[in-house]
Structure 1
Amino acid sequence: MPRRTARAQTFTEVINEVFLVNGELLAAGDALTAPVGLTAAQWQVLGFLEHGPSTAAELARRRGLRRQSVQETVNRLLRNGMLERSENPGDARAPLLRLTDRAWAALRQLGKAQVSWADGVAARVPRDDLETTLRTLRQLRDVLREA
């Protein structure tokens, strides 16, 4: 097996940490959303739709998620009254998804909880470190898109 360079080894460790952090973020998201009867995955879908209606396929593509997973989440949100479908003038086979009043209320409640949680977490990490991490993750995203 070929030996990794030190840079490739460090990058592999970054990947592992990102996966671990993602798991922690999902667990924190589930804890934040539980009082309003949602999951972190459902919150992610609702948060995307805050900016306007979208199809499930577009949502999956723009968030880098599997379409089937998004569709399952959308179906649960439709069943529990958080989303509604409307006609899509661009493609009759792909309805637009819109937030309901119930979803907007949940998002307002979650917004307050998220701000408090984020302030608490961010206070424990130096701001310069957070800014460096953000720049690095954006750079990695761009490099990976090009690769």
Structure 2
Amino acid sequence: MRSEGAGHVPSEQELLSRAALTVFRLNGQFLGVAEELAKPGGLTAAWWQVLGAVLREPLPVAGIARTMGITRQSVQRIADLLVGRGLAEYVENPAHRRAKLLRPTTAGREAVSRITPPHAQFAARLAAELGPEGFAETVEVLERLTAAMDSATGPPSSPSGADPSPSGGDPSPSGV
């Protein structure tokens, strides 16, 4: 990927392009791995992602979309599928009559819990590849890049004042 000479200092524009291409590739890799990891739970990667967003607390569809950085319509479609399959349910939202909250059902939580063993195994493989400190550093750099992108493009608002990270700091497998 690096074609510059040893003394070449990449421009900001070159760095942005390299970062974007790397993240696009990484996104594809994560989606592929997530599809495989989600199978034991009878889920798809997208279903797992939406269920994972509401494991800690119920959220409105718009809040899930903001947290995940995708459209409300995409989340609505998946949320409706999850509800139809008995993996999630809509509950009243005390803060907003029309925007119901999505929360996992017992079946939804059980589906996510079946993902825990392969999720842990894959996490251990990455940790072995990167080393424990390298893995933690990689996550910190990605979090810094996400924060910088939010700052440079206008940050999305947090759905409920909660931690904007996809897992909210929860060690359970709420997404790859």
Question: Given the two structures, how large is their TM-score scaled by the length of structure 2?
Answer: 0.75
1:75 CA drift (Å): 1.2
| Cα offsets for 1:1-38 (capped at 9, x unmatched) | xxxx6232122111111111111111111111123221
Alignment counterpart, residue 30 of structure 2, candidates 25, 28, 39? 25
Question: For residues 7 and 131 of structure 1, do their structure 2 counterparts lie closer, same or farther at Cα, with a shift above 3 Å needed?
Answer: farther
The letter for the 1-side match of 2:68 is R
1:114 CA drift (Å): 0.4
Alignment counterpart, residue 63 of structure 1, candidates 68, 78, 98? 68
124-133 or 25-34: bigger deviation: 124-133
135-144 or 12-21: bigger deviation: 135-144
- The structure where helix makes up a greater share of residues is 1
For structure 1, the 5+ residue unaligned runs are none
Q: Which residue of 2 aligns with 1:53?
A: 58
The letter for the 1-side match of 2:88 is L
The letter for the 2-side match of 1:83 is A
SS in 1 for 2:129: coil
Q: Which residue of 1 aligns with 2:135?
A: 130
> Structure 1 residue 85 and structure 2 residue 121: aligned?
no
Q: In angstroms, what is the RMSD of aligned CA positions?
A: 1.5
Alignment counterpart, residue 81 of structure 2, candidates 72, 76, 84? 76
**Retained in 1: the 8 A contact 2:87–2:108?**
yes
1:39 CA drift (Å): 0.8
Runs of 4+ in 1 over 6 A off after TM superposition: none
1:132 CA drift (Å): 3.1
Number of residue pairs matched? 143
Alignment counterpart, residue 124 of structure 2, candidates 111, 116, 119? 119
Alignment counterpart, residue 144 of structure 2, candidates 139, 143, 147? 139
The letter for the 2-side match of 1:137 is L
Of all paired residues, the percent bearing the same amino acid is: 33
Question: Given the two structures, how large is their TM-score scaled by the length of structure 1?
Answer: 0.89
1:120 CA drift (Å): 1.4
Q: Which residue of 2 aligns with 1:35?
A: 40
**Retained in 1: the 8 A contact 2:40–2:114?**
no
SS in 1 for 2:66: helix
| Cα offsets for 1:68-98 (capped at 9, x unmatched) | 1111111111111101111112111111111
1:127 CA drift (Å): 3.4
For structure 2, the 5+ residue unaligned runs are 1-9, 153-176
1:133 CA drift (Å): 2.3
Alignment counterpart, residue 97 of structure 1, candidates 94, 97, 102? 102
